[in-house]
Structure formats: C-alpha cells, structure tokens
Amino acid sequence: MLRKPLLTLQETAELLKLSEATLRGLIKAGDVRAIRIGREWRIAVRDLEQFLDAHANRAPAAQQSEPQP
C-alpha cells in the first residue's frame, strides 16, 4: 500500500504553479521522477519533495547547523 498518494500532472503543476508543459519538460529532462501509467504520468509525493529539496537555495531548517553565538 502506498503511504503517500500519487499526484496527476495537473495536480502537481497546480501545486508548483507551473504549466503542465513545463512540468512535462522537467520530467523529460529527468529533473522530476515520474511514473507512466498507461498514457498518463503520476508523480509520487516523496519524489516531488526530493525534487524541491534538491532545488532549494538552502537546507531544510532541521538540517541547518545551529547559529554560533
């Protein structure tokens, strides 16, 4: 059983505020991992989270080192 759902291309594009064409380009370039089911693409939430983490300008707050006094 899936712990997190698979998102459609439309759902993912809406979340990222991108066009579906741009998202398809990211999939084709290998930047976003996607699963093809029949003629449709699905994106796992964990893969979307990994893409966002890899393209963030800094590490998540939990991974940042504590500031020096």
Residue 68 lies in a domain: no
Residue 62 lies in a domain: no
Query: Can you give the pLDDT at residue 3?
Result: 77
**SS3 (DSSP) at 37:** strand
Task: Give the containing element (helix H, strand E) for 41.
Answer: strand 40-44
Closest CA to 46 of 35, 36, 57: 35
Residue 33 lies in a domain: yes
Q: What CATH number is associated with residue 17? A: 3.90.105
Structural domain that includes position 34: 6-57
Closest CA to 12 of 40, 2, 38: 40
The token pair that represents 54 in the structure block: 């890899």
The token pair that represents 33 in the structure block: 């991992």
Query: Can you give the pLDDT at residue 66?
Result: 57
Query: Can you give the pLDDT at residue 22?
Result: 97
Query: Can you give the pLDDT at residue 61?
Result: 73
Residue 63 lies in a domain: no
Render pLDDT for 4-26 as a digit per residue (tens, 0 to 9). 789 999 999 999 999 999 999 99
> CA-to-CA distance for 58 and 69, rounded, in angstroms?
21
Number of domains observed in the structure of the chain: 1
Residue 69 lies in a domain: no
Render pLDDT for 35-66 as a digit per residue (tens, 0 to 9). 999 999 999 999 999 999 999 888 777 665 55
